[in-house]
């Protein structure tokens, strides 16, 4: 059968700080405004999956042993203080992390863990569902949906380098773990045995980079069949109020009429100005979605999980 990836070193770059939002978004200068509507593109899953992860150090996330989630160690993440510092040592000069804006997808932000815990505790079902991990970064939320046998999972990050260097490798290392369930007596066992991880990944997952509105246009117009998402998972994506319009529009155009958005956020992002109250107010004014608070995590800086669904018109 398949062997699991080696468990070597601890991935130490979780965001445990309280509100380090200034590092992800500074005031946009004229040059940066240009790339604000960054064109979206779809990333092919590389043919040779083994090669993508062969030199990567992989670790099971220690706090989430029960979920059996792995992550590739980002060796280049030594200095978290500024995007440019991180990437200049590690990526080619073509990297969009160097030539454009970096939106924080290189590390796992703490609200991801809040949402993972909630999805696990509440046994949220993904089987047969179409799922989007919006602003995915490492992609752990989408990976949990993949493990939960979602029918289709799409991953989106602003930065193409994050998709290629972080998201895709993480999905690969986690989908090889899928094979460990082989002994379990499940009805779809046969099918899963035949499917090797490569095929499962190619069939179920799609990867996109680019700005939200551009992404929604791309996915809606793509030649491949597209049905709206049953579940959209999104963590630490509402820090900047100037993105709310595009973010809200994207949710409204891509969510199935009976779909649900699970959103995790810090209560407030100092320095950038976004946060849960401002976002909920924005949503209320648009009158498209209703929101409800699922969980409040009141350790250190307050964090909140909310659910969004389309308002029922009748
Ligand atoms: N969800 C991940 C987590 O919790 O670890 C990453 C959070 S990171 C702070 C913000 C994410 O939103 C990144 O994936 C970034 O690329 C994406 N993002 C931010 N602003 C965006 C925009 N205007 N358009 C598209 N994606 C954006």
Using alpha carbons, select from 157, 21, 31 the residue that is nearest to residue 100. 31
Confidence of residue 151 (pLDDT cuts 50, 70, 90): very high
Provide residues with CB under 6 Å of ligand 1: 24, 103-105, 108-109, 111-112, 135-138, 157-159, 211-212, 235-237, 243, 246
Q: Is the confidence at residue 35, as pLDDT, over 50?
A: no
**The two three-digit tokens of residue 67, written as one number:** 């979920």
294 CA distance to ligand 1 middle (Å) = 21
Q: What is the ipTM of this complex?
A: 0.99
Nearest residue (by CA) to ligand 1, atom 8, is 104
Nearest residue (by CA) to ligand 1, atom 16, is 158
Distance CA 53, CA 43 (A): 17
Q: Is the confidence at residue 181, as pLDDT, over 70?
A: no
Predicted confidence (pLDDT) per residue in 209-246, tens digit: 999 999 999 999 999 999 999 999 999 999 999 999 99
Look at the chain and count its residues. Answer: 314
Q: Is the confidence at residue 76, as pLDDT, over 70?
A: no
> Mean pLDDT of all residues in the chain?
80
Distance of CA 87 to the CA centre of its chain: 20
How confident is the model at residue 70, as a pLDDT? 85
Q: With the C-alpha atoms ordered 125, 226, 166, 180, is the resulting torsion angle positive or negative? A: positive
Give the 3-state secondary structure of residue 227: coil
167 CA distance to ligand 1 middle (Å) = 12
136 CA distance to ligand 1 middle (Å) = 6
Q: Is the confidence at residue 92, as pLDDT, over 80?
A: no
Distance CA 292, CA 290 (A): 7
Distance CA 230, CA 128 (A): 10
**The two three-digit tokens of residue 90, written as one number:** 């590690």
Name, in order, each residue with C-beta under 8 angstroms of 32's C-beta and a sequence gap of 6 or more. Answer: 100, 101
Using alpha carbons, select from 126, 169, 133 the residue that is nearest to residue 147. 126
């Amino acid at each position: 059968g398949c062997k699991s990836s080696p468990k070597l070193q601890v991935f130490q770059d979780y965001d445990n700080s309280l509100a380090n939002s200034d590092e992800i978004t500074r005031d946009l200068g004229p040059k940066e405004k240009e790339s604000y509507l960054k064109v979206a593109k779809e990333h092919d899953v590389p043919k040779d999956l083994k090669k993508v992860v062969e030199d990567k150090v992989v670790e099971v996330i220690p706090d989430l042993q029960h979920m059996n989630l792995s992550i590739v160690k980002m060796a280049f993440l030594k200095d978290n203080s500024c995007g440019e510092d991180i990437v200049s040592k590690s990526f080619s000069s073509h990297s969009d992390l160097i030539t454009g804006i970096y939106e924080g997808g290189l590390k796992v932000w703490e609200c991801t863990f809040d949402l993972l815990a909630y999805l696990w505790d509440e046994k949220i079902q993904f089987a047969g569902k179409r799922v989007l991990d919006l602003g995915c970064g490492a992609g752990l939320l989408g990976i949990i949906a993949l493990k939960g046998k979602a029918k289709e999972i799409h991953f989106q990050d602003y930065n193409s380098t994050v998709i290629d260097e972080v998201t895709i490798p993480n999905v690969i290392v986690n989908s090889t773990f899928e094979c460990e369930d082989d002994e379990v007596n499940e009805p779809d066992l046969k099918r899963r045995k035949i499917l090797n991880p490569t095929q499962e990944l190619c069939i179920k997952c799609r990867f996109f980079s680019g700005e939200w509105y551009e992404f929604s246009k791309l996915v809606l117009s793509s030649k491949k069949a597209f049905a709206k998402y049953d579940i959209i998972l999104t963590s630490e994506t509402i820090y900047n109020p100037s993105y709310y319009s595009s973010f809200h529009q994207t949710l409204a155009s891509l969510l199935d009429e009976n779909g649900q958005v699970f959103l995790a956020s810090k209560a407030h992002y100092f320095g950038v100005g976004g946060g849960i109250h401002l976002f909920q107010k924005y949503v209320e004014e648009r009158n498209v979605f209703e929101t409800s608070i699922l969980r409040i995590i009141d350790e250190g800086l307050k964090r909140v999980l909310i659910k969004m669904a389309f308002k029922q018109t009748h």
